[in-house]
């Protein structure tokens, strides 16, 4: 049976929207997909005219669609922002080198300036070397902490005001569930924020907060966007992976479950009197940290001392066990901005 698009009531429907289960034609799907993202940007006042915005670009579907759609919306609605691509080279042979080739093609296709910052130049270690040292159990802790700082440091080099990431609704719902299961109330209270950090910091935001992963894949597929779809070779059978499977099962039964979980996360409020970590500055590199030393410095110290477990788990406990860190021996360049190391960046 031929179905008609429920949006224009004219064309033949060829898509069933995963988010709403509406039957839509291709053009109407593009239009609602882009308009929902535009509405999220406007409702949350993400950009100001003249903002310099770096898109965290990995070459994967999310950041490729983000670059394509932001460029399009910036022109269509005249946001007046200047867009850049910012990529992190973790040094993963057979994965990141290939995906960076995709980003380089995207740079040409979208005509945007590109900056690539590597772990080797910032930390003196790449992920291939780190995995050799630490194995495949805690590699993503190193990678996530290093990536968060690398993005901020790349943003400082590009002199941008704002970093946007391709985290989508599925990613955020997963994070809400993970924080509930870990009882991590500090992260739970802020993981659904669309935009983190205040005026004097590099803002970080997620324009795809309400965009379903399946719709991003559909959009990329129908638009024939050039993206890289291979999994990281060091991707573990992680906790997040189990949560993802659980969420996909829920979505199969009730597609709106993803949005409901995000709304539940937004509704959480911390009880008065709950103590949260106090933010200070890393004594070594100047990055914001709730401990004496930021997580990246402790992880790096562990690698350099041949004690990779130093930064895994509670920092203070591990420093007591393995001996403290000498101050002032910065191995990571001094950081001049004020973002926090308290969250590791999901890849």
Binding-site positions for ATP: 56-58, 62, 88, 166, 171
CA–CA separation, 229 vs 62, rounded Å?
10
Q: What mask, x for binding Zn ion by CB under 5 A, covers residues 296 to 315?
A: -x------------------
Question: What is the closest distance, in whole angstroms, from the C-beta atom of residue 202 to ligand SF4 in the complex?
Answer: 21
Q: In this complex, which beta carbon is closest to ligand SF4, that of residue 37 or of residue 131? A: 131
150 binds, among Zn ion, ligand SF4, none (CB under 5 to 8 A by kind): none
* Locus of tokens 């988010």: 19
Which residues of the chain form contacts with ligand SF4 (CB under 6 A)? 90, 127, 139-140, 143-144, 232, 234-235, 347
- Helix/strand/coil for 52: strand
| Nearer of residues 5 and 46 to Zn ion, judged by Cβ | 5
* Alpha carbons 305 and 299: distance in angstroms, whole number: 10
What does 165 interact with, of Zn ion, ligand SF4, none (CB < 5 to 8 A by kind)? none
Among residues 148 and 214, whose Cβ is nearest to ligand SF4? 148
Give CA–CA dist 147/345, Å, rounded. 6
- Indicate whether 193 belongs to the interface with Zn ion (CB under 5 A): no
Q: Residue 19: which of Zn ion, ligand SF4, none does it interact with, CB under 5 to 8 A by kind?
A: none
CB atoms inside a 10 Å sphere around CB 217? 17
Quote the least distance from Cβ 227 to ligand SF4, whole Å: 16
Q: What kind and span of H or E run contains 224?
A: none
Spatial distance between the Cα atoms of 197 and 172, rounded to a whole number of angstroms: 17
Which one of residues 15, 17, 19, 28 is an interface residue with Zn ion (CB under 5 A)?
28
User: Where in 266-285 is the site for Zn ion (CB under 5 A)?
Assistant: 282, 284-285
Which of 221, 128, 213, 234 has its CA nearest to residue 171?
Answer: 213
Closest to 54 (Cα-Cα) out of 204, 226, 191, 216:
204
Q: Is 25 in the site for Zn ion (CB under 5 A)?
A: yes
DSSP 11: S
* b/e sequence 166-200, b meaning 16+ C-beta within 10 Å: bbbbbbbbbbbbbbbeeeeebebbebbbbbbbeee
Cβ closest to Zn ion, residue 26 vs residue 248: 26
> What is the binding site for Zn ion (CB under 5 A)?
5, 7-8, 11, 25, 28, 282, 284-285, 287, 294, 297
């Amino acid at each position: 049976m031929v179905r008609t698009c429920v949006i224009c009531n004219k064309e033949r429907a060829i898509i069933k929207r995963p988010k709403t289960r509406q039957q839509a034609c291709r053009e109407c799907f593009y239009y609602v997909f882009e308009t929902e993202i535009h509405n999220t940007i406007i409702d949350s006042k993400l950009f100001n005219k003249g903002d310099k915005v770096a898109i965290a670009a990995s070459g994967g579907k999310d950041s490729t669609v983000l670059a394509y759609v932001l460029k399009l919306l910036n022109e269509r609605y005249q946001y007046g922002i200047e867009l850049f691509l910012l990529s992190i080279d973790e040094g993963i042979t057979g994965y990141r080198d290939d995906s960076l080739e995709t980003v380089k093609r995207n740079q040409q296709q979208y005509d945007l300036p590109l900056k690539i910052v590597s772990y080797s130049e910032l930390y003196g270690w790449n992920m291939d070397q780190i995995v050799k040292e630490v194995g495949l159990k805690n590699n993503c802790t190193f990678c996530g902490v290093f990536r968060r700082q690398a993005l901020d440091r790349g943003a400082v080099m590009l002199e941008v005001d704002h970093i946007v990431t391709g985290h989508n609704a599925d990613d955020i719902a997963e994070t809400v569930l993970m924080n509930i299961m870990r009882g991590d109330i500090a992260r739970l209270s802020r993981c659904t924020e669309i935009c983190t950090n205040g005026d004097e910091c590099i803002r970080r935001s997620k324009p795809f907060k309400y965009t379903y992963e399946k719709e991003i894949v559909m959009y990329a597929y129908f638009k024939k966007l050039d993206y890289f779809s291979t999994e990281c070779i060091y991707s573990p059978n992680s906790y997040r992976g189990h949560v993802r499977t659980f969420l996909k099962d829920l979505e199969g039964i009730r597609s709106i479950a993803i949005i409901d979980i995000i709304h539940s996360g937004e509704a959480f409020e911390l009880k008065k009197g709950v103590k949260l970590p106090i933010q200070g500055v890393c004594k070594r590199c100047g990055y914001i940290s709730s401990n004496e030393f930021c997580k990246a410095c402790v992880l790096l110290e562990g690698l350099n001392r041949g004690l990779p477990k130093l930064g895994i788990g509670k920092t203070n406990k591990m420093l007591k066990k393995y001996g403290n860190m000498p101050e002032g021996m910065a191995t990571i360049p001094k950081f001049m901005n004020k973002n926090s190391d308290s969250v590791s960046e999901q890849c």
